[in-house]
Structure 1
Amino acid sequence: MFWIQFAILLICIFIGARLGGVGLGVMGGVGLAVFVFIFQLPPTEPPIDVMLMIVAVITAASSLQAAGGMDYLVGLAEKALRKNPKRITYVAPIVTYLFTFCAGTGHVAYSVLPVIAEVARESKVRPERPLSIAVIASQQAITASPISAATVALVALLADFQVSLMDILIVSIPSTFAACMLGAFVSSKMGPELEEDPIYLERLKQGLAPMKQEQKSGHITKESKLAVFLFLLGVISVVLLGSMEFLRPAWMVNGELVRLSMPHTIEIVMLTVSALILILCKPDIEAITSGTVFKAGITAVVAIFGIAWMGDTFFKGNMEFIQGSIQELVTSAPWLFAFALFVLSILLYSQAATIRALVPLGISLGISPYLLIAMFPAVNGYFFIPNYGTVVAAINFDRTGTTRIGKYILNHSFMLPGLVSTIGAVAIGLLLASILF
């Protein structure tokens, strides 16, 4: 019976991934219905806290975008890229990493990818090199961002082990950043030089790779800068409140001291930030809900709602069988759990949904919470199958044709830097965890 249910789980994930968008979430609902009504598995509680945290964070990030804060950040990024054109393969991933770190979503990379492609081409640097690692860095940073959906999900799941947000960040930030720089080094050696690439030369003959691309300039106001300041203030507040527990208020409940939880802390802080941006920066209210950040965030909420609920129900309903089958294997070789996280993230296209679906299983199998922190970056498997949004966007923005999907699908521009960065981040994380904890 387990294998039939497992096949249903995979089929729902596969169809949901093919549908895209909210399709992943609603297919999770279909699988949940089959488990509950046909196999009579008791449904678990839906991941309400995780979903509400994501809603609060994307509301603040969307307010920042509507106020022009994203445009201001893009302008700063463009100046940094143009100042160091020959080092763009290293500068580009730093820019996208910082963008994601601050915004909590990798979708902000869309705004700088065309700038990266243009600056690389003008500098006669093969655009595939900075674009590929820039996309990978934008995803790796999700597991280092204190306000990303994946990080807040992990904080919530490890709360019972007295693991703080700072415990996660002191491992995930250096491990992912260092791994991205390692990936940048590998990317800098990829492919022939731009002017020797046969596809680029053919595109030049056909007029498909123009020598100059139109530049867009937006009007940056003082409100845009204020919105960025307020948002960063919110991010810093979340980090401080998460790492210094005594800063959060506490109450006596039935004779026991109960402190404000991190999920509630994040929700309160980010909603407050959003309100301050609305009041002080006066963005168009309609632009908040129509922006790309809000749409991507709500899609993630729906995906987590269905997939995580289905996964929870399946794993808890079959926990006795799973524990008996793989507990000894995973306990003796914990890195196998990192492999499981990586594979599931390829199917789910969501780091947060992957964390919510698999980490409870890891906890139940007795894997140390600090090892789970070290393996956190393994959820960045988006790049493996080249159909994720930022991957497709990078390919389309590179008008030289050097960033591409190979003949065999999986031999694409993002595979090598992606594998190097992900494996490197987990390896460095395991080393740091063994030293720090």
Structure 2
Amino acid sequence: MVILHVILLLGTIMLAARWGGIGVGFAGGVGLAIAVFIFGVPAGAPPVDVMLIILSTIIALSVMQQAGGMDYLVILTEKLLRNHPGYLNILAPSVTFILTVLSGTGYTAMSVMNVIQEVAKDNGIRPSQPLSSAVVASQLGITASPISAATAIMYGTVEVMGISFGDAMLVVLPTALFAMLVAAFIASRQGVRLADDPICQKIMQENKTALNKHTKRSIPRGAKSSVVIFLLGVMFVVSMLLFKSLIGHAINSRDLIIITMFIVSTIIIFTCKLDMKEIKNSPIFKSGAESLVVVLGIVWLSSTLIGAHIEEIKMGASEILRTYPVLLAAVFFCTSAMLFSQGATSALLMPIAASIGISADAILASFVAVSALYITNIYPTTAFAIATDDTGSFLSKRWNGSRIVNHPFFLPGCLSIICSVPFGFLLAKLVL
């Protein structure tokens, strides 16, 4: 039966890769129906905590976008990148990393993908280089964000082990930052410049791809205010967690994030005089709704099948992981690649890791590995980056993804984890 369950899970993932986007969630729903109705597997608990945090954050970001806040951030990003095009391969991932850390979702990276592509093309840089590192950086940034679902679940696990929020962030934030720098370096070495790539030159000539003329964008009224209000909300969450013992509150990180995001949304709406009916039409709201479907479908299936064999997993893995804690990173890595969600991976595995006696330093050091959403190129941010490029830099035989993993996101992502996990263990020893 275990073999059948594995075949079902892998088959569903292959179907999800074929359908892509919101279809990933539908594929998960089909697999879940087969598991429950045909194989008789008891349905596991749906990833409610993850979905609630994602939903509340998406709502706040959608409100900020409706107020023009995302446009304002794009303008700042464009000014930074255009003024320093020679550093694009490090600035692009740095920008998406920071946006993700502050917003708690990698979907904010989509707002600057077109700018990154334009600056790269205008300066003869292969767009796949900064775009691929920017995508990987946005996924790594989830593990360093104080308001992401993954971090909230991780901190809830290590908090009971006596680890403060400050100590946890002193490990996971530098580890994720180090991983981002590794990914940026690797991505910048993949492929040749546009002028030296015959495939890119041919596609650009056929499509009559022209250099982009820089047009001045106007900053919407209330845009700056919406960004300031949102950032104050993030700072409030961080402060409440950082000084939890001093303040003396008992609010868990999940509830703190959800409540704060709703208050932030409300303040922005009335401060910037927004029409509440229009918020649902924002691009971030629509992308967020898609991500919820993806999480609900594929994650619920995975947690159901894995949950059916949880005792076997504990018995087989507990001794090995206690002896070789670095292998926990490999477990995080492989699971997140199947679940397409850092938050869902954390929700599924963090309690298991704690229950079999894995130490807090191993959990913190390995946490960065839950960001392996780049193994295939079907995740929304990776697919969007590919769709953004009109030069064909993703289409060469070496990088076109025809063999699943031969795409520009794979090596930067994998090597960033391989290099950063040992760094995380070293850091955890020093901090804890």
**Fold-level similarity (TM above 0.5):** yes
Paired residue type of 1:392: A
Residue equivalent to 2:410? 415
Question: What is the SS of the residue equivalent to 1:427?
Answer: helix
Residue equivalent to 1:228? 227
Residue equivalent to 1:239? 238
CA distance 1:244–1:413, change in 2 (3 Å): same
Q: TM-score, normalised by structure 2?
A: 0.89
Residue equivalent to 2:195? 195
Q: CA deviation at 1:20?
A: 4.0
Verify: 1:364 aligned to 2:355, yes or no.
yes
Mean CA deviation greater in 142-151 or 222-231 = 142-151
Mean CA deviation greater in 345-354 or 70-79 = 345-354
State how far apart, in whole Å, the 2-side matches of 1:362 and 1:27 are.
28
Residue equivalent to 1:64? 64
State how far apart, in whole Å, the 2-side matches of 1:377 and 1:60 are.
25
Mean CA deviation greater in 331-340 or 15-24 = 15-24
CA distance 1:398–1:320, change in 2 (3 Å): closer
Mean CA deviation greater in 90-99 or 407-416 = 407-416
Mean CA deviation greater in 298-307 or 53-62 = 298-307
Verify: 1:345 aligned to 2:336, yes or no.
yes
Determine if contact 1:47/1:309 at 8 Å carries over to the other structure: yes
Residue equivalent to 2:372? 381
- Please give the per-residue CA displacement for 1:62-113, whole angstroms capped at 9, x wherever unaligned: 1111111000000000010011111111111111111111121111122211
Residue equivalent to 1:116? 116
Question: What is the SS of the residue equivalent to 1:59?
Answer: helix
Determine if contact 1:386/1:412 at 8 Å carries over to the other structure: yes
State how far apart, in whole Å, the 1-side matches of 2:19 and 2:194 are.
36
Q: CA deviation at 1:146?
A: 1.1
Query: Unmatched 5+ residue regions in structure 1?
Result: 251-258
State how far apart, in whole Å, the 1-side matches of 2:386 and 2:11 are.
29
Paired residue type of 1:420: L
Question: What is the SS of the residue equivalent to 1:220?
Answer: coil
Paired residue type of 1:295: K
Within-5 A mapping of 1:25-424: 25=25, 28=28, 45-210=45-210, 212-215=211-214, 217-246=216-245, 248=247, 250=249, 259-404=250-395, 405-406=399-400, 408-424=403-419
CA distance 1:301–1:181, change in 2 (3 Å): same
Determine if contact 2:117/2:388 at 8 Å carries over to the other structure: yes
CA distance 1:201–1:171, change in 2 (3 Å): same
- Please give the per-residue CA displacement for 1:221-254, whole angstroms capped at 9, x wherever unaligned: 341100000000011111111121135554xxxx
Determine if contact 2:337/2:373 at 8 Å carries over to the other structure: yes
Paired residue type of 1:355: S
Q: CA deviation at 1:29?
A: 5.3
CA distance 1:267–1:164, change in 2 (3 Å): farther
Question: What is the SS of the residue equivalent to 1:232?
Answer: helix
Q: TM-score, normalised by structure 1?
A: 0.88
Q: CA deviation at 1:355?
A: 1.7
State how far apart, in whole Å, the 1-side matches of 2:421 and 2:165 are.
18
Give % identity. Answer: 39
State how far apart, in whole Å, the 2-side matches of 1:303 and 1:196 are.
39
Residue equivalent to 1:254? none
CA distance 1:37–1:218, change in 2 (3 Å): same
- Please give the per-residue CA displacement for 1:16-47, whole angstroms capped at 9, x wherever unaligned: 55444555455555655666666666655544
Paired residue type of 1:284: D
State how far apart, in whole Å, the 2-side matches of 1:23 and 1:387 are.
10
State the superposition RMSD in angstroms.
Answer: 2.6
CA distance 1:3–1:63, change in 2 (3 Å): same
- Please give the per-residue CA displacement for 1:319-345, whole angstroms capped at 9, x wherever unaligned: 332222222222222232222222222
Question: What is the SS of the residue equivalent to 1:112?
Answer: helix
Q: CA deviation at 1:306?
A: 4.6
Determine if contact 2:67/2:220 at 8 Å carries over to the other structure: no
Mean CA deviation greater in 304-313 or 424-433 = 304-313
Query: Unmatched 5+ residue regions in structure 2?
Result: none
CA distance 1:321–1:216, change in 2 (3 Å): same
Verify: 1:430 aligned to 2:397, yes or no.
no
Q: CA deviation at 1:197?
A: 1.7
State how far apart, in whole Å, the 2-side matches of 1:200 and 1:142 are.
32
CA distance 1:208–1:337, change in 2 (3 Å): farther
Mean CA deviation greater in 73-82 or 414-423 = 414-423
Q: CA deviation at 1:150?
A: 1.9
Paired residue type of 1:429: G
Determine if contact 2:333/2:369 at 8 Å carries over to the other structure: yes
Mean CA deviation greater in 52-61 or 273-282 = 52-61
- Please give the per-residue CA displacement for 1:264-286, whole angstroms capped at 9, x wherever unaligned: 21122111111100110122323
Paired residue type of 2:273: K
State how far apart, in whole Å, the 2-side matches of 1:173 and 1:93 are.
15
CA distance 1:378–1:66, change in 2 (3 Å): same
CA distance 1:235–1:247, change in 2 (3 Å): farther
Determine if contact 1:99/1:108 at 8 Å carries over to the other structure: yes
Paired residue type of 1:337: L
- Please give the per-residue CA displacement for 1:350-378, whole angstroms capped at 9, x wherever unaligned: 11122222223322332223212211121
- Please give the per-residue CA displacement for 1:372-398, whole angstroms capped at 9, x wherever unaligned: 221112122222212222222222333
